[in-house]
């Protein structure tokens, strides 16, 4: 499943209630593989054209293909999402947290983009939904401008993948899968 969102309606209702083409994340399916959700924040739709000297020439479609291969190799379905709107991202975080609780998802890989540095609403959504998250950054944010050195997301993330370029998505998917598998063995959901 892949979705990119435009500006959500300002009615206070979920975008899926208004736009039938946007469906909530699946909560349960008989005999379905568990899923991993990859959520991409603002401006990541511009991958391949925005600052290629920092982010490379790989497009968001290329990233989705890489993620789909990695997830499939681990026996996971992939839900791949991108939005430039904070409210839509929060809705997806809530939906993915519900899918984890229902046992149909193992968690999320989240590239928050610029929301990394200031979105307490997204930080609180991750914590409130009890969503296992691997925070991901394509570039080494610690080698860039000072404002990029602090993340409000990191304190609620299970782990962080920074500076490996686009291949970091595969590392993050493998990481969330291993954390999930270890929680099944130990009997403690982390």
> What single DSSP character describes residue 153?
S
Sorted by sequence, the CB contacts under 8 Å of residue 172 that are 6+ apart come out as: 109, 134, 136, 159, 161
Q: Is 137 a catalytic residue?
A: yes
Contact assessment for residue 123 and residue 155, using Cβ atoms and an 8 Å cutoff: yes
Q: What is the number of other CB atoms lying within 10 angstroms of the CB of residue 22? A: 16
Contact assessment for residue 92 and residue 107, using Cβ atoms and an 8 Å cutoff: no
Contact assessment for residue 67 and residue 38, using Cβ atoms and an 8 Å cutoff: yes
Which of 137, 169, 177, 180 is an active site residue? 137
Catalytic (active-site) positions? 55, 137
């Amino acid at each position: 499943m892949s979705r990119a969102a435009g500006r959500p309606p300002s009615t206070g209702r979920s975008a899926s209630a208004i736009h039938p083409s946007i469906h909530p994340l699946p909560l349960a399916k008989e005999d379905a593989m568990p899923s991993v959700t990859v959520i991409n924040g603002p401006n990541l739709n511009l991958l391949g054209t925005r600052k290629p000297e920092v982010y490379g020439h790989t497009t968001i479609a290329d990233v989705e293909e890489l993620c789909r291969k990695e997830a499939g190799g681990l026996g996971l379905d992939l839900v791949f999402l991108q939005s430039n709107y904070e409210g839509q991202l929060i809705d997806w975080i809530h939906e993915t947290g519900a899918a984890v609780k229902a046992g149909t998802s193992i968690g999320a890989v989240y590239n928050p983009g610029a929301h990394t540095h200031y979105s307490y609403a997204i930080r609180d959504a991750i914590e409130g939904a009890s969503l296992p998250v691997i925070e991901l950054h394509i570039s080494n944010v610690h080698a860039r401008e000072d404002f990029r050195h602090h993340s409000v997301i990191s304190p609620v993330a299970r782990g962080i993948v920074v500076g490996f370029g686009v291949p970091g998505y595969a590392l993050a998917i493998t990481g969330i899968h291993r954390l999930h598998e270890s929680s099944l063995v130990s009997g403690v959901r982390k």
